[in-house]
Amino acid sequence: MKKLMTGILSILFAVGLVAGIATQASASPAPQLSGIQITQIYDNQGNRGRVTEGYPGTVQGNPTFKGGTLYVVTKFTGYPNWGTVFYRDSRATGQAIQRTVVERTPIYGRNGVATGWKEVAAIPFTAFSGSYPTIYVSADSMSGRTYAASVSMVHLQK
């Protein structure tokens, strides 16, 4: 009985090892960053707005955001250099505003390979200079090319 159990465990181990090697060998490198899109904005009081595509995007329905914290949902197509991801207030250049990354999850393609990332960033209203800021998000690809997205006329009730 002991030899039978040892034999079964050996076979299971070998099958698991081969399956693990095959999975690792089929993995491909993450694609370079090729685009950024702000997809949604919401606050901590339940106000939400989808952002139109284009540059700059606008918030559909023109909701008024309240509560002191704005959440910006950004889609990165491909893999950005995370050290170069910046959120800015009302200008494409200049001082970056502080954000807290609440969530960062991979977006998977049909083949199971990560094709991009979704980031949810929390930004306090005090980081914005006015009640109708334009929010810019920029990042560089691993090769150094810069991509950006923006949403204009975001209505904050401070």
* Tens-level pLDDT at each residue, the chain (158 residues): 555 445 554 554 554 444 444 444 345 567 999 999 999 999 999 999 999 988 889 999 999 999 999 999 999 999 999 999 999 997 767 789 999 999 999 999 988 889 999 999 999 999 998 899 999 999 999 999 999 999 999 999 98
In-domain check, residue 18: no
Are 139 and 119 spatial neighbours (Cβ–Cβ below 8 Å)?
A: no
CATH number of the structural domain spanning residue 119: 2.60.40.2870
Please give the distance of CA 14 from its chain centroid, rounded to a whole number.
38
| Domains held by the chain: number | 1
- Residue 108 belongs to domain spanning: 35-156
**Pairing verdict, β 100-108 and 155-156:** unpaired
DSSP reduced 3-state for 133: coil
* pLDDT at site 94: 75
In-domain check, residue 5: no
Residue type (1 letter), 101:
V
In-domain check, residue 8: no
* pLDDT at site 19: 46
* pLDDT at site 56: 87
In-domain check, residue 80: yes
In-domain check, residue 47: yes
Rounded to two decimals, the pTM is: 0.79
Residues 67-91 have pLDDT tens digits of 999 999 999 999 999 999 999 997 7
In-domain check, residue 13: no
In-domain check, residue 17: no
In-domain check, residue 129: yes
Are 63 and 49 spatial neighbours (Cβ–Cβ below 8 Å)?
A: yes
> What is the Cα–Cα distance from 127 to 36, expressed in whole angstroms?
22
